[in-house]
Amino acid sequence: NAGVTQTPKFQVLKTGQSMTLQCAQDMNHNSMYWYRQDPGMGLRLIYYSASEGTTDKGEVPNGYNVSRLNKREFSLRLESAAPSQTSVYFCASSPQVPGNEKLFFGSGTQLSVL
């Protein structure tokens, strides 16, 4: 059982380049999330998807777009990368049991924007 799988694990971009972070879960979860983790700031929610076909902005959505391709996959796209987007990105999913938001996390993508 793979759980939540993220690719790539590491990426270096130049300012202005674009890329897509991929995430897939095999637990049949309804909800999926993208967080970024920065030193001293914990995890901040970028976007989330409560169900297939729906997406909503989180705390820090600027500079990102997402696609909930199907129930399994939720991708995060940086259209024009900026140094401020250097971070570790985590995808997560949850079964969306109301009031009990147990998140299952991927192992993260370390992104550096030069």
Partner 1 sequence: GEDVEQSLFLSVREGDSSVINCTYTDSSSTYLYWYKQEPGAGLQLLTYIFSNMDMKQDQRLTVLLNKKDKHLSLRIADTQTGDSAIYFCAESIGDTDKLIFGTGTRLQVFP
Check residue 7 for interaction with partner 1 (CB under 8 A).
no
Count the residues of the shown chain that bind partner 1, applying the rule CB under 8 A: 28
- Contact pattern for partner 1 over residues 80 through 99, marking x by CB under 8 A: ----------x-x-x-x-xx
Judge whether 6 and 23 are in contact, CB under 8 Å: yes
In whole angstroms, give the CA distance from residue 68 to residue 66: 7
**């370390």: which residue's tokens?**
110
- Contact pattern for partner 1 over residues 19 through 58, marking x by CB under 8 A: ------------x-x-x----xxxxxx--x-x-------x
The answer for residues whose C-beta is within 8 angstroms of residue 113's C-beta and 6 or more apart is 12, 13, 14, 15, 81, 82, 83, 84, 85, 86
Check residue 111 for interaction with partner 1 (CB under 8 A).
no
Taking Cα atoms as reference points, which of 40, 31, 39 lies closest to residue 58?
A: 31
**């095999």: which residue's tokens?**
26
Check residue 5 for interaction with partner 1 (CB under 8 A).
no
Check residue 71 for interaction with partner 1 (CB under 8 A).
no
Please report, as ranges, the residues that interact with partner 1 according to CB under 8 A: 4, 31, 33, 35, 40-45, 48, 50, 58, 90, 92, 94, 96, 98-108
